[in-house]
Structure 1
């Protein structure tokens, strides 16, 4: 009789655990990704020019990450990494003969459909998926978001500055900038001054329509963008202290507030993890082409500087993400895919290795949680230029193939070692004082070259896969 009672108790316990697991609501995911926004462009990260009350509130209610990295200093490769959890060099999205580092309109290149995106991983758990905003991973039909795991696409297929023209490199005719819904152009040229407002409206509407099922919303804004003067809605034009750039930042902040408030109104806030970040640092330069700021970091976008790769990030999920906290451990955009997969109760395809790692312990501020990354690599296209491990960043003594934040005629190649935790502006080269650390990072760099390749070497890395599909001819008329 006693054994029977114990058996009943065990069975009841198992049923209760099973019911508890089944009753646990799935986490929704929203990723808000700005375009070319600088590390220091918002108040939570030090801006004294731009008013960002919504982001201030998000940081007060969430967790600020101060060592969060893009995988590239320019948009196509960084977005490819966010989508796939891989360095762009692993999946062939870092460079191509026709476009260079950034995909151009009517290109025959794009994200290989064989890769598994965040959207496809979450579809395994019956998530509704949408992208509202800038894609920039291929504009031909086989590369569009609707072929890469997204149920819905509303936005532009590439950067807002890629407007109608004849491209001198190959004579191709670029169409007027198209606004697309799924695989159909609904407006060309699109009115760029209304994009932020329309994306925000479309996002809140889509959330409402999918509030009763688990969802993943990717909201990659077109702004501040790649033009000399960002496009801004009339409600924000001329209102900031920093011209069109500042106007755009303040409109993007308004958009964040709209999304978070909407989640609260629908009682979804505690069920939804929201990540706010930027694809890479601001490409401001001495001629003030743009007025973004990466301070207090060193350098500009489109390079391998900290200002290009280290981007602002705030994580928000009331009741789960500890409010008003900060994380200074290294984490990356590539980590979002495995982290979301873990939180959704699934996993990436084990047959296709990725570079991202689960950072849920960092998000949740677990006691003693540290970065899961032994090393992080800074590639400029196909060239490995620098590597970070722990607080140390080593610039390799190479002749740079493109923009370099340090080497020039005045500063020829030599090992440069910075402690990017204590020396945030990268002003003190301590390579001579730390030969053992230089050797350690150099060894890790060799592992990166073996794994992912380097244009300074012959051949590709040993674990690079899937060159981009090139057997299709451009279909200009599709846009």
Structure 2
């Protein structure tokens, strides 16, 4: 089979149940995510998929390397923020092989449109880690109109040069992706497959829709915007992203590329204050299910059976390993993926396999292990044991009823953790604003 084009779409802070196909509620204007719902209906939907971290940058390290993010110093920052600007340490080293660098070596054209958040130039940038093209912000939270970052400075780049462009950021990213898809259409002189990373900032704060131009009057307060926003604005932001994905799907159809393009959609972590994560609890920064269980949709007409659902457990780095396999790329010796390819599941959703998924988190001393039906969790020094299929809300702690299982899973986590570098003492935990400003969950 001819190698597929790949479009890997990452939403930012999207809750597990924000999309209609994951049980999300309609908005006042109607369905929130009709395009993504249609892609799921015509493809494969994962119900037990996770992100590598409950915060942004560490998940992106795992995506880029197909490995546990804990192996890299920069990923100990949760997430990388403005203080790392100019740092030669806090970022994804250009020397480290990546998903895009290896796909590029295997003959793919590569591009990142959207959020980078893995360090700042001159030491780090997408162009130094395997992408041939880049358009988007280097940092995390960016105002959707002024394109200012959390320090109030402009943060929209084309390559490594600042790009002044008027428009609502979600739409600018979608339009850029449409242009890329059109340019990558096969011709007599261009028949390379492409790998497009499309990393939206939506629905990350500040909570702004296309109609909210007036909010940019005070950039600094608007970026944090903790006294604003509402569920209606939040749903509209998701809908704007969904519309843009529809433009891209149409461009694939018009250029004859849809059938052999693998579109993957997910989120970098769980949701924030306006997100819907039912029936899960917790959110961003938490290793409870609401902080790490995220949507995973795969649409690939020539290979993925339509209308299918799988309970296969997976996390971000497994998808990186999958794309490497499908693209005929490999990681060099010494950089073997921790992720396990899901290629067999894409073609046969019933072909589930056993896996163990591990997390650790500076914030509140959290740790977690999911294996089969069971999850071991530690928060603030307290150990928990949950049977997830029976108790997705993680309310019934079975630790005292099954002490042997708890001990075995705790030991298993300890053994895994011993294979990872320790968390540096100077690593910071930050959302970019004080936790006291956030509503209690």
Counterparts of 2:357 and 2:38, CA distance in 1: 33
Q: In structure 1, which of residues 426, 441, 458 is the aligned counterpart of residue 394 of structure 2?
A: 426
Structure 2 regions of 5+ residues with no counterpart? Answer: 187-191, 215-228, 428-441
C-alpha change, 1:142 and 1:220, in structure 2 (3 Å) is same
Q: Does 1:203 align with 2:177?
A: yes
Structure-to-structure mapping, 1:146-165, within 5 angstroms:
146-161=127-142
Q: In structure 2, which of residues 220, 235, 248 is the aligned counterpart of residue 259 of structure 1?
A: 248
Higher deviation after alignment, 111-120 or 56-65 = 111-120
Structure-to-structure mapping, 1:48-67, within 5 angstroms:
48-50=25-27, 51=31, 52-67=33-48
Point out 4+ residue stretches in structure 1 off by more than 6 angstroms.
162-165
Q: Does 1:102 align with 2:80?
A: yes
Counterparts of 1:445 and 1:205, CA distance in 2: 45
Structure 1 regions of 5+ residues with no counterpart? Answer: 1-23, 168-173, 285-290, 401-412, 461-466, 468-479
Q: What is the CA-CA distance between 1:374 and the residue it aligns to? A: 2.8
Structure-to-structure mapping, 1:105-184, within 5 angstroms:
106-108=85-87, 109-161=90-142, 174=151, 176-184=153-161
Contact 2:52 2:59 in 1 (8 A): yes
Q: What is the CA-CA distance between 1:142 and the residue it aligns to? A: 2.5
Secondary structure of 1:376 counterpart = strand
Report the aligned-residue RMSD.
2.7
C-alpha change, 1:81 and 1:382, in structure 2 (3 Å) is farther
Contact 2:8 2:263 in 1 (8 A): yes
Secondary structure of 1:219 counterpart = strand
Q: In structure 1, which of residues 68, 79, 84 is the aligned counterpart of residue 65 of structure 2?
A: 84
Report the TM-score, using the length of structure 2 for normalisation: 0.84
Equivalent residue, structure 1, for 2:294: 311
Equivalent residue, structure 2, for 1:42: 19
Equivalent residue, structure 1, for 2:4: 27
After superposition, the C-alpha distances for 1:37-60 in whole angstroms (9 at most, x for unaligned) are 111111011111342111111111
**Number of residue equivalences:** 398
After superposition, the C-alpha distances for 1:189-219 in whole angstroms (9 at most, x for unaligned) are x65x611111111101111111222000000
C-alpha change, 1:360 and 1:381, in structure 2 (3 Å) is farther
Higher deviation after alignment, 213-222 or 257-266 = 257-266
Q: Does 1:277 align with 2:266?
A: yes
Counterparts of 1:381 and 1:449, CA distance in 2: 16
C-alpha change, 1:265 and 1:241, in structure 2 (3 Å) is farther
Structure-to-structure mapping, 1:343-362, within 5 angstroms:
343-362=326-345
Counterparts of 2:364 and 2:18, CA distance in 1: 29
